[in-house]
Amino acid sequence: MRFIQNCIRLSGSIKLTIICLIITFILVAGGTVYQIDNGLLAAQDRFFSSWGLFLFGFILFPGMKTIAIILSLNLILNGLKSFSLSFKKSGVLLMHIGIIVLFAGTALASIYIKESVLTIYERQKTTFSRDFSLWELIVLKKQHNSANHGYFVSDTVHFNKLKNDTKITFPNTSISLAFKKLYQNCTAPSIDSLQPQKISADQAGNFPGIEAVVISKNNIENSENRLLLYGGKIDPVLFTMADDTLYFMLKPHEIRLPFEISLNRFVNINHPGTTDAKSYESHLTVRGDGINRDVVITMNRPFRYKSLTFYQNGFMTQNSFNATTLFVVDNPFRFVPYISGLIIIVGLFITFTGKFAGSVIRLKNNNSDKK
């Protein structure tokens, strides 16, 4: 019983609060430095969206999710320990409530948040972004109606649901695939081979692959019907079997945006005498229902629209055309920090106002006693 009491006392102690804040500072500093060489997504996955990580490859260190839970529990127990329904304590109570709201909102956001990547070239338009953590296998089959007009039927399955040495039948396209080998990340050194690669910490750097066999209607598996799909290939793979025309695609899940976004120009400024980027900015035009304006996104100035936030994540140049890469975050709880901040400010105002009023009253009393 005493052990349990000591654990509860330690969980609500100010010492644990200070330790958690120090670890939070280390995680923020480490994630900021890690982002420079490994990218925003990799830093977020390793430091801010994880339960734990290994520093220097062997030191086990708590992640931001673990610290958030411990700190929330610490604040709740600390607040209950000093809880009382009085105006004198109401400011401290409000500060605890504000911090708990902040951590609760962060926890909910980690569950419901959607992250994706948008890459667009100059003078191009798009209405969707891509979630590279969720890849899809899409099968299209060309059909003809009674008027001999062509149309397509399709089937879609998530890549993470596929397994080696299994067979899946696609109902709409009436075909089956026998999956021989699946790659979480690979390259395609030639048209008929896939080469496995080490899984990248940056999700946008992983391109899955599939080695499969298309099974005919009579359920006969023929090695000549071998199919190779590579996530880095944009165009669909055309496959003909008897009278059927099939198209196969392996691509990241597309998230529809509430507007059309176009890149007018991209500006890259390097450090003098080097090829290292000093700053870069994307000049965009956003058109949609309720919005029609020009937007500039820089490394330290994102673009926000309702629950969406667009961050400058990178850029590339291909065939003399610049392209920008934006990191898109759909966070329905992004206003929680503002609400919790307002609660904390009110709590601080009540606390310091009460202390100031008490000091003034004591000073007046001391002066009256001297008289």
pLDDT 10s digits, 117-157: 898 998 899 999 999 888 999 888 877 665 555 667 788 88
At 308, the pLDDT band (50, 70, 90 cuts) reads very high
At 174, the pLDDT band (50, 70, 90 cuts) reads confident
pLDDT of residue 303: 93
In terms of Cβ atoms closer than 10 Å to its own Cβ (0-12, 13-18, 19+), residue 86 is: exposed
pLDDT of residue 87: 63
Tell me if 177 sits within 8 A of 192, measured CB to CB.
no
- The percent of residues in the chain predicted with pLDDT above 90, rounded, is 13
pLDDT of residue 369: 62
365 or 25: whose pLDDT is higher? 25
Give the integer Cα–Cα distance in Å for 153 and 173: 6
At 241, the pLDDT band (50, 70, 90 cuts) reads confident
Tokens of 173: 């396209």
Tell me if 206 sits within 8 A of 132, measured CB to CB.
yes
pLDDT of residue 80: 67
pTM of the model: 0.69
pLDDT of residue 310: 93
